[in-house]
Amino acid sequence: MTNKRQALVTGANKGIGLAITKGLAQSGMSVWLGTRDRSRGQAAIQNLLDEGLDVRLLEIDVVNEVSVQRAAEAVSRETGALHVLVNNAGIILDPTAPPSKVRMEDAKATFEVNLFGPIRVTQAFIPLLTAAEGARVVMMGSGVGSLTLIADPTSIYSSVNLLAYTASKVALNAVTVSFAKELAAFGIKVNAVEPGHVQTDLNDNTGVLTPEEGAATAIKMALIGQDGPTGGFFGGHGRQPW
Ligand code: NAP
């Protein structure tokens, strides 16, 4: 057992999740790099270990109940508390399909990762989160998860029409508010963030921000103090409209 502050980031073997993992480790935390594929995780973690960062691999497939339970047990064996959980894993399937052509199996699979995944993982880690004093949960939302912005023709987000992805991120905002209400009694703050348009495999590397820039708001909300907000939605310019 260790007394060092612990964090878990899901979908951390690349992209924004890897940058969040690095940033939290650089802040002095011991970070579990969540990956659904051990070999992809091992390839990713090596650079961080070479830099002397305190990071450990954790196999966790957020759509798989058994995998998530095993991951929670594995963390429990090593530590009594989880101070930060970043629900970062996310997918976009068939991005060129217009809403009328989105396959139901793709819509369901998208919700499994982007919405049910964060619910499943948060529930599984609640015993460890409540054991930490003032844990923080960050939900990786999206600008296209803002109904206000996607309906505003002056917003760049209104030009994006990804039925399943957008709906999953809109719903994730509601999940954020729900958990924030329940977990406030334990001093746990739960916030959704949006990273901006980040260059990652998710968008075929068409984004404009680096993963490190995209990770900044998630890291900030993971480390907010007792006077920080809960149940909110934040981006690089502060509070975002729902
Ligand atoms: P990415 O580079 O494609 O990374 C996505 C990560 O999620 C990968 O590690 C992937 O693992 C993992 N993942 C997918 N399904 C999973 C599952 N079932 N269980 C566990 N992990 C799983 O994309 P990214 O841009 O960094 O995305 C990270 C988050 O930011 C997502 O929630 C995304 O929606 C959000 N976001 C991104 C942008 C952007 O501009 N990039 C904008 C707004 C929001 P594998 O390598 O095994 O596939």
What string of H, E and C letters represents the secondary structure of 175-199?
HHHHHHHHHHHHCCEEEEECCCCEC
pLDDT < 70: residue spans in the chain = 1-2
- Do 21 and 12 meet the contact criterion of CB atoms below 8 Å apart? yes
What is the reported pTM? 0.98
Whether residue 194 has its Cβ less than 6 Å from ligand 1: yes
Whether residue 106 has its Cβ less than 6 Å from ligand 1: no
CATH number, domain containing residue 230: 3.40.50.720
Q: Helices 211-222 and 15-26: crossing angle, nearest 10°?
A: 50
Residue 111 lies in a domain: yes
- The rounded radius of gyration (Å) of the Cα atoms in the chain is 17
- 208-224 pLDDT, tens digit each: 999 999 999 999 999 99
The 8-class DSSP code of residue 34 comes to E
- Range of the structural domain that residue 26 is part of: 6-239
Residue 144's closest CA among 180, 104, 190, 110?
A: 110
- Do 136 and 81 meet the contact criterion of CB atoms below 8 Å apart? no
Burial class, 126, CB count within 10 angstroms (exposed 0-12 / middle 13-18 / buried 19+): buried
Give the number of other CB atoms < 10 A from CB of residue 22.
24
Closest ligand 1 atom to Cα of 87: 32
Residue 62 lies in a domain: yes
Residue 232's closest CA among 196, 194, 192?
A: 192
pLDDT value at residue 3: 72
- 12 CA distance to ligand 1 centroid (A)? 8
Query: What is the spatial distance between Cα 44 and Cα 179, in angstroms, rounded to a whole number?
Result: 31
Residue 193 lies in a domain: yes
Residue 226 lies in a domain: yes
Residue 1 lies in a domain: no
Query: What is the spatial distance between Cα 211 and Cα 145, in angstroms, rounded to a whole number?
Result: 19
Query: What is the spatial distance between Cα 118 and Cα 85, in angstroms, rounded to a whole number?
Result: 10
Closest ligand 1 atom to Cα of 211: 26
Whether residue 232 has its Cβ less than 6 Å from ligand 1: no
Catalytic residues: 165
pLDDT value at residue 85: 98
- Domain count along the chain: 1
Return the C-alpha torsion angle 37, 64, 212, 38, nearest 10.
-20
Place of tokens 């659904």: 36
SS3 content of the chain, % helix, strand, coil (to 5): 50, 15, 35
